[in-house]
Amino acid sequence: MKTKKPARKLRPIFKGRKAKTGLPPGSPVHIGESRTGAVEVELVRYDEASLDERRINTVSECVNLKGMPGITWVNVDGVHDVDILKSVGDCFGLHPLVLEDIANTDQRPKMEEYEGYIYLVCRMLSISKSGEIASEQVSVIIGPGFVLSFQEEEKEGDVFDRVRDRIKANKGKIRKMGADYLAYALLDSVVDNYFDVLETFGERLDDLEEAVVGAPTRETVREIQALKKEMVFLRRSIWPLREVISGLLRSETGLIADGTHIYLRDVYDHTVHIMDTVETFRDMLSGMLDIYLSSLSNRMNEVMKVLTIIATIFIPLTFLAGVYGMNFKYLPELELHWGYFAFWGICFATAVGMIIYFKRKHWLN
Amino acid sequence: MKTKKPARKLRPIFKGRKAKTGLPPGSPVHIGESRTGAVEVELVRYDEASLDERRINTVSECVNLKGMPGITWVNVDGVHDVDILKSVGDCFGLHPLVLEDIANTDQRPKMEEYEGYIYLVCRMLSISKSGEIASEQVSVIIGPGFVLSFQEEEKEGDVFDRVRDRIKANKGKIRKMGADYLAYALLDSVVDNYFDVLETFGERLDDLEEAVVGAPTRETVREIQALKKEMVFLRRSIWPLREVISGLLRSETGLIADGTHIYLRDVYDHTVHIMDTVETFRDMLSGMLDIYLSSLSNRMNEVMKVLTIIATIFIPLTFLAGVYGMNFKYLPELELHWGYFAFWGICFATAVGMIIYFKRKHWLN
Amino acid sequence: MKTKKPARKLRPIFKGRKAKTGLPPGSPVHIGESRTGAVEVELVRYDEASLDERRINTVSECVNLKGMPGITWVNVDGVHDVDILKSVGDCFGLHPLVLEDIANTDQRPKMEEYEGYIYLVCRMLSISKSGEIASEQVSVIIGPGFVLSFQEEEKEGDVFDRVRDRIKANKGKIRKMGADYLAYALLDSVVDNYFDVLETFGERLDDLEEAVVGAPTRETVREIQALKKEMVFLRRSIWPLREVISGLLRSETGLIADGTHIYLRDVYDHTVHIMDTVETFRDMLSGMLDIYLSSLSNRMNEVMKVLTIIATIFIPLTFLAGVYGMNFKYLPELELHWGYFAFWGICFATAVGMIIYFKRKHWLN
Amino acid sequence: MKTKKPARKLRPIFKGRKAKTGLPPGSPVHIGESRTGAVEVELVRYDEASLDERRINTVSECVNLKGMPGITWVNVDGVHDVDILKSVGDCFGLHPLVLEDIANTDQRPKMEEYEGYIYLVCRMLSISKSGEIASEQVSVIIGPGFVLSFQEEEKEGDVFDRVRDRIKANKGKIRKMGADYLAYALLDSVVDNYFDVLETFGERLDDLEEAVVGAPTRETVREIQALKKEMVFLRRSIWPLREVISGLLRSETGLIADGTHIYLRDVYDHTVHIMDTVETFRDMLSGMLDIYLSSLSNRMNEVMKVLTIIATIFIPLTFLAGVYGMNFKYLPELELHWGYFAFWGICFATAVGMIIYFKRKHWLN
Amino acid sequence: MKTKKPARKLRPIFKGRKAKTGLPPGSPVHIGESRTGAVEVELVRYDEASLDERRINTVSECVNLKGMPGITWVNVDGVHDVDILKSVGDCFGLHPLVLEDIANTDQRPKMEEYEGYIYLVCRMLSISKSGEIASEQVSVIIGPGFVLSFQEEEKEGDVFDRVRDRIKANKGKIRKMGADYLAYALLDSVVDNYFDVLETFGERLDDLEEAVVGAPTRETVREIQALKKEMVFLRRSIWPLREVISGLLRSETGLIADGTHIYLRDVYDHTVHIMDTVETFRDMLSGMLDIYLSSLSNRMNEVMKVLTIIATIFIPLTFLAGVYGMNFKYLPELELHWGYFAFWGICFATAVGMIIYFKRKHWLN
């Protein structure tokens, strides 16, 4: 088992929340790890025939696009620049509470219907090249003919690249479908990544299982506990996501077309599958802890047996040697010529008797 | 890890309840820590244009205000003066059972609809300057155009100050909205404070985790148990609060305007988030207890190994030394010139053999 | 911690049930502790203006009273006299199965609607003067204009005295309300007593907690288990009581007036509160068991360390002393003048080395 | 505690199931313990005035009886003779799947509505004279004017004897009521027997509790586990039975008259009561295991303390005695006249010092 | 207990999933163990009178058969050949997502209604001749007049052979019923096999129970954990299968005839029965772990007692022997003629005293 990174702090980060205390509700304030990178806004517009993709500088550009035919997808990488959030919000008519939630990267996955659009937030997990698990909040707004997506950070090798590629390559039917299908595609990418994360966890579990059965150390318990924590974290991300998707399926806003239901149901099945796997992993981890603890007891038993066997054989013999080392003036056995050999005879007899006793008690297997 | 205050008694306090035994229902009797400070009644009246804020001496003053346009907020600090409660109750037409519940500071959070008003009670947690967690019962009455709030104790740095400030500064839309929005603002302040409390617990958890992994002592278990108790307490406060808010959302009294729903849903999400965090903390605490117990076993194993190694090596050798200390007349080895050196040879051989045995058993790592 | 009474047997008592085997259903047979005291039947008749209270000898007297204006309350102390039960049953037209249930003091709290009356049964807990917890079954029949109550035993200082006093003193609105309010008042007395019982348990918990943290003994575990059992018992009594009360609230028989709902809801809240407290107590007891077990391990560790330190220091030294006690003819060190002092030097060096080793392992704190 | 019979195998018995593999559904095959006794078919026909009870040889006899006025009860003792089952089935028009279920004695209690009749199956527990618990499957068919019951085995002292006796003696109203009441009476007998079984378990629990608190042995844990298993078995029998009865209560076939509902509700209450008791027993058994385990640790602590006290006192003294047994030429203390007495003085001082130390550590209580 | 095969890896296999990353949804990609065997497609066409069964080479053959009278059953053995899947899908008009799910052998059992057909997937467990448990995914499509079934692998001794045989032999009513009955027959075969698997597990449980009570080893815990894992796996397969069947029962597509409901309810009962058994097995396994752990503690206690008894008797005596081995010039007892015998007297007295003490402490039983 290779050494692992120290377990990530899994308790929620409320950084920045205090700054907010006292503000009226609906004031977007960035809560989360402080970031400084520039926020990038990317615009993708497409219909079955045409495709327009570019970075936009002035967010106000988007105003012109709204209401035009085709699908508009605005992807914002970085939610720490509150001004950009506000201008996007103004442009698409978002409620201040929505902007507040987007800026607060400490959200529980949820789905809310507003007048004219659906707001949903989920947590994207990904495995970086160095093997670490990174967690990021993704907010998606589904409106008539447009989708807005907000990620915490710009990264190369974005999970949304798959969707972008499909749009560019005009693969599958993404260019033929509406904004709801695009939103589905984004959700699907997010959920697909959970499988990768589970795969990684699965491998760590296998390593752990070997370690537990083989030569468990203190480190093993800590690793078990660390994985348990990660499972709690995963569960907290995926469980409400299930509700988000079933919320979309039940939505009566008319923003989700019936034809998209079948795809959403597919994503829903994936989340159930992931939950199932997470629960199985938790069961396995509990089982490992049980094995570990019982192996501790087993080892203690073994150590104690060795001590007891040695002590039980030699302590009486040492006493006997002590007896014949006494200086009593009158100690008849000492005078016997065969006394010494008799002593050894008694010693061997005692030792053999003890060993037979231990054999019978099954202490010597 | 710095030393902590002794864990607060978390079992409910029924002080004063016996005094009540035998009284007909609807007789308000103060139940809870006995307090003696003067009860202060504060009146805030505002509409979009005007604001009137003052202490009132004669509660009967409020009679004149009822039914006038604008929003009336009466905040009572202290519920131990039953007479004041009664006069407020008479003035706003509260049911005797409601007054009884307000005076009894040992309530479970709940929400009840009465003819013409909604009564809700929740528990406010706050962290005092000295770092302690203080718990206080808050009752809120929402009526048409008025809100009554009852706190247990007058404190500087009240959580309701934030709301007062917003009203005074005319920040946000609080002055434009109705009594239901004011009630929402009060609830929001209460719930926001839970995040601060969780933050504090999170830090104590981090300290604990370090202690558990590093050098756990008896004190550590007690701290774990103390935190577990606090979690139980928090849970008991927040779980029913969720129901209170969803009760408000489902209320059909007409006292909660549709426009306020979106804000209440936001508070609702916060309570869900807090519950989630509390559950995570509980899981983490259980994990710590497991680590602690397995580290106890580990240490025992280590101690036992040291004892066993020492004893197993030296007990046979001591026996041998005892043998050659015997006074048998005829003990041939003693006469040998190289006998003593042969003895040491046997000793070293035995010791080395034992050590190899322990190595093979992985007892020496 | 003072010595406690031996834990009450909490498994249900089926005494007398066998006697019943083979009888057709609806044959009242007393099941429970056998009692011999005389059964007392007390009649209270009142309306807003008049009050009539007396013992009745012939149960047939009640016949005349039925159907008259005002409220009739018949309280029967003792259910072991089946004949009296039958005559009361005949008089008020009770179903044979109801009489059977009243006589069987081993009922689970429940509420049943019959043609013309509601039958409910609950369990009354009280603390006797000697500090013991007594449990008694209470059956209540609510009919139009009459209430029948059945207790297992006549006791001085009855919990129903509070209600009697209120009726006599014409306190509150009991004389102005109907039979349903009277039934509510009885239920309220029963539930109020649970708080006293919880208070007593709370004190025992505090004692226990001190004992667990201080000097836990075997007795402590037994006390923890005994309290756990009591909690199970309390839970079994209060949990279905909640359903009983919500059953009354949902009742569509017309026997429960709308004006009484608000009072029943209050009792309902009390039962929820009690359940909550019971759950908290259970959590605390589990926590105590954990502390107890970890303190056992801790103590074992401590004991083992002392043994190991002593043994590890002295066993090698004893070996050394044994070596120089040997009688080899040629044992050069013995001849050295400073040999004995060198021996002590080695002893001290070894001991100091060991102590430094233990210090480094944190065994000596 | 007297020695118990070895715990019954509680895992389901699938004997005979393999024989069935490959047959089309609806082919009755006996699954269960193989039995060879003759199957007895008993016919009871009664109305308010007349009663006819006899063994029937040709099952075809029953054909004539069907459709006649009065109630027909056919009781079949033994389900291993598939031909008899088939002829009964043909006679009363039972579905092949029903016959298959009757022959398979490994059914989970359930209730099914068919065209014209209700089929229900439950598990009857009884205590034989030798104190053993016997389990048997009982199938009941309720049709218009007839009841069929199927037991696994003919036994003297049948639980249905009670019902037979009531019919013969015309006790209660069984002769006045319909087939549904007869079915209720059979169910009631079955459920009543569970109380006897619980009574027996209760006594074993008491024995166990005494053993656990007094002198627990390995046998005790096994007995605890055996009882736990029995509880699992009981639970599996009674839990679905509850659903069976509530299914009868909700049945809309018209086969269950409204007047019988009150009786079925009574049986329903009994099953809830039994479930409750089973849960309590399980809680008590878990508590016992906890006590047992902590008493193991306690005993280990005690043993360790004795060892440590003895070793800690004598090991240093033995070293000292070893020192003065050395043969150094120059060992000044040996020459002192009072040396030996000084030695004893040191010994006593050391021993007393150790004992004071142990006293302070509370090891000697 | 014979040695078992190493526990199967139970974490889901995502092999091939990565290959899929980036493809648009609805692209069937084989996920699962890679297989290379040829895919066989078998066609069975029957009505009450005629039967036609053969291997088909060109899948397009099936086109002609669709819409013809009678029932068409196409069974595909092997889902790794995506082209064949696609051609079958085209022929019967299956949705691309359905094909994707069929190819992905890592599905959770589920049931989905599509326009014109029902898609369901479940997991078939079987015991191979070598005693191993094999798991295979089975997909079934139910359409009007046709059933498609997809298995992962061609095996001799297929569970579907039973169904084939019944069709050929015209046993039971399978030839008279519709496609829904055929689908039921397939499901029934799958579920019947679970009983065989449970039977095998039951035997392993019995072996384990004997081992745990007799001479538990480390291997025993691992076997317990392995069986626990298998139970988790079984549960994950059967739990959703229950929902699948109840989904069929509630289906409103018209594809499931009312007459088939009674058969599906039967399968449903079987799944409930299996779940029940799985839960019982889990309970039993937990109980075994408890017994195992307490037996570890017991053995430790026993070992410790032996050590303590030996050490406590001989350590003081060794000290005494050491005392009289000292070389003090003035050591009066040594001069006594009866000193040596007195020494032995003291030794025996001490030993007997100790043994009496141990007897009283019940250490010697």
pLDDT in tens, E223-256: 888 888 888 888 888 888 998 999 999 888 889 9
Is residue E328 less than 8 Å (CB to CB) from chain D?
A: yes
Which pTM was predicted? 0.79
Q: Which residues of B touch C318 (CB under 8 A)?
A: 314, 318
| B contact residues 294-323, partner C, Cβ 8 Å cutoff | 296-297, 299-300, 302-304, 306-307, 310-311, 314-315, 317-318, 321-322
Residues counted in chain C: 365
User: Cβ–Cβ of B324/C329 closer than 8 Å?
Assistant: no
- Residue in D162, D316, D361 nearest the CB of C22: D162
Chain B positions in Cβ-Cβ contact with residue A318 (cut-off 8 Å): 315, 318-319, 322
Residue to substitute from A294, A302, A357, interface E, most E β-carbons within 10 A: A294
In chain C, what residues touch D360 (CB-CB under 8 Å)?
Answer: none
Report CB contact under 8 Å: E10, A198.
no
d(CA D166, CA C111): 29
**Contact: B25, C172; criterion CB under 8 Å:** yes
Is E108 at the interface with chain A, CB within 8 A? yes
- CA E75, CA E149: separation in Å to the nearest integer? 5
Residues 6+ apart with CB under 8 A from E341: none
- Rounded Cα–Cα distance for residues A37 and A40 (Å): 9
Nearest Cα of chain A lies from the Cα of B312 at a distance, in angstroms, of 6
Measured between CA atoms, how close is E331 to chain A, in angstroms? 10
User: Would you call D300 and E300 a contact, using CB atoms and an 8 Å cutoff?
Assistant: yes
Would you state the pLDDT for residue B3? Answer: 38
Residue D152: strand, helix, or coil:
coil
In this structure, the strands spanning E110-114 and E117-127 are antiparallel
Gap from B322 CA to chain C (nearest CA, Å) = 6
Would you state the pLDDT for residue C59? 61
- What is residue A138's predicted lDDT score, i.e. its pLDDT? 92
Residues of chain B with pLDDT under 70: 1-24, 33-34, 58-68, 130-132, 154-157, 365
How many Cβ atoms are within 10 Å of B225's Cβ, its own excluded?
23
Show residues of chain D in contact with E332, CB under 8 Å: 340
Minimum mean pLDDT range among A62-76, A145-159, C336-350: A62-76
pLDDT for position B147: 92
Give dist(CA B337, CA B335) in Å, integer: 6
Q: Which residues of D touch C239 (CB under 8 A)?
A: none
- What confidence tens digit (pLDDT) does each residue in D113-163 have? 888 899 999 998 887 777 677 788 999 999 988 999 999 876 656 778 888
Contact between chains at D324 and E328 (C-beta distance less than 8 A):
yes
Answer for the pair D296, C296: CB distance below 8 angstroms, yes or no: no
- Residue range A277-291, pLDDT digits in tens: 898 888 888 888 888
Res. D22: pLDDT tops 60: no
CB distance from C349 to chain D under 8 Å? no
- Return the residue of E nearest to D25 by Cα: E172
Tell me the backbone φ, ψ of residue E8, rounded to 5 degrees.
-60, 145
Closest Cβ–Cβ partner in B14, B25, B304 for C304: B304
Any B CB within 8 A of C76 CB: no
Report residue E121's pLDDT band, with 50, 70 and 90 as the boundaries. Answer: very high
Q: Which residue of C has its CA nearest to D271?
A: C108
Please tell me the predicted confidence (pLDDT) of residue A68.
66
Is B15 within 8 Å of chain C by CB?
no
Contact (CB, 8 A) for B154 and B187: no
Alpha helices in E214-257 (DSSP H): 218-250
Mutate to test the interface with C, among B225, B230, B304 (most CBs of C within 10 A): B225
Q: What is the Cα–Cα distance from B258 to B249, expressed in whole angstroms? A: 9
Say if CB C259 and CB C180 are below 8 A apart.
no
Quick one: pLDDT at residue D294? 85
The Cα–Cα gap between E157 and C83 comes to 72
In chain D, pLDDT over 90 holds for what percent of residues? 14
Residues paired with residue D77 on neighbouring β-strands, in sequence order:
D40, D151
Tell me the CA distances in angstroms from A207 to A2, A196, E4, one per residue in order: 9, 17, 21
Mean pLDDT of E33-54: 82
Contact list, D315 vs chain C (CB under 8 Å)? 310-311, 314-315, 318
Q: How confident is the model at residue A131 (pLDDT cuts 50, 70, 90)?
A: low
pLDDT at A5: 40
Whole-number pLDDT of residue C21 = 59
d(CA C291, CA C298): 10
CA distance linking residue C270 with residue A287, whole number of Å = 41
Q: pLDDT band at D289, cuts 50/70/90?
A: confident
**Distance between start and end Cα atoms, chain E:** 30
**Two tokens, residue B321:** 């030394």
Q: Which chains touch C (3 or more CB pairs under 8 A)?
A: B, D
Q: Is the ipTM of this complex over 0.85?
A: no
B174 in reach of chain A (CB within 8 A): yes
Q: Within 13 Å and on the Cβ side, how many CA atoms surround B96?
A: 10
Q: Give chain E's mean pLDDT.
A: 83
Query: Does residue B250 contact residue A192 with C-beta atoms inside 8 Å?
Result: no
Whether B330 and chain C come into contact, CB under 8 Å, resolves to no
Structure tokens at B84: 């004041």
Which residues in chain E are closer than 8 Å to A162, comparing Cβ atoms? Answer: 21-22
Cβ within 8 Å, pair A328-E334: yes
**Per-residue CA distances from D61 to A258, D50, D74, D92 (Å):** 62, 19, 11, 12
Residues of chain C with pLDDT under 50: 1-11, 13, 15-16
For residue C264, what pLDDT is reported?
92
Smallest CA–CA separation between A325 and chain B, in Å? 4
Average pLDDT taken over every residue of chain A: 83
Which helix (DSSP H) or strand (DSSP E) does residue A46 occupy?
Answer: strand A40-46
CA nearest to B225, candidates A293, C289, A289: C289
Write down the pLDDT at residue C187.
93
**Measured between beta carbons, which residues in chain E are less than 8 angstroms from residue A312?**
306-307, 310
Angle at E14 between CA E12 and CA E20, to 5 degrees: 155
What's the Cα-to-Cα distance from C306 to each of A308, D306, D309, D311, D349, rounded to whole Å? 18, 12, 9, 10, 19
Residues of A in contact with B364 (CB under 8 A): none
Give me the residue from B198, B263, B273 closest to A108, CB to CB. Answer: B273
Where helices occur in B70-178 by DSSP H, the ranges are 82-92, 96-103, 161-169
User: Once rounded to an integer, what is the mean pLDDT over residues E138-161?
Assistant: 84
Say whether residue B281 is in contact with chain A using an 8 A CB cutoff. Answer: yes
pLDDT at residue D5 in the model:
40
What is residue C351's predicted lDDT score, i.e. its pLDDT?
A: 92
E333 → chain A, closest CA residue: A328
Q: Tell me which residue in E11, E110, E299 faces A301 most closely, judged by beta carbons.
A: E299
Identify all chain B residues contacting A14, using CB atoms and an 8 Å cutoff.
195, 198-199, 202
Pairing mode, strands E71-77 and E117-127: unpaired
CB distance C326–B327 less than 8 Å? no
Query: What average pLDDT does this structure show over A337-353?
Result: 90
Beta pairing, strands A146-151 & A71-77: parallel
The answer to whether the CB of C16 falls within 8 A of the CB of C103 is: no
Is C8 an interface residue toward B (CB < 8 Å)? Answer: no
pLDDT tops 60 at residue E297: yes
Q: How far is CA B303 from the centre of its chain?
A: 38
pLDDT exceeds cutoff 60 at E5: no
> Closest Cα partner for D164 from D44, D60, D306?
D44
Q: Which of residues 192-231 of A touch E (CB under 8 A)?
A: 192, 195-196, 198-199, 202, 205-206, 213
E19 touches A at CB < 8 Å: no
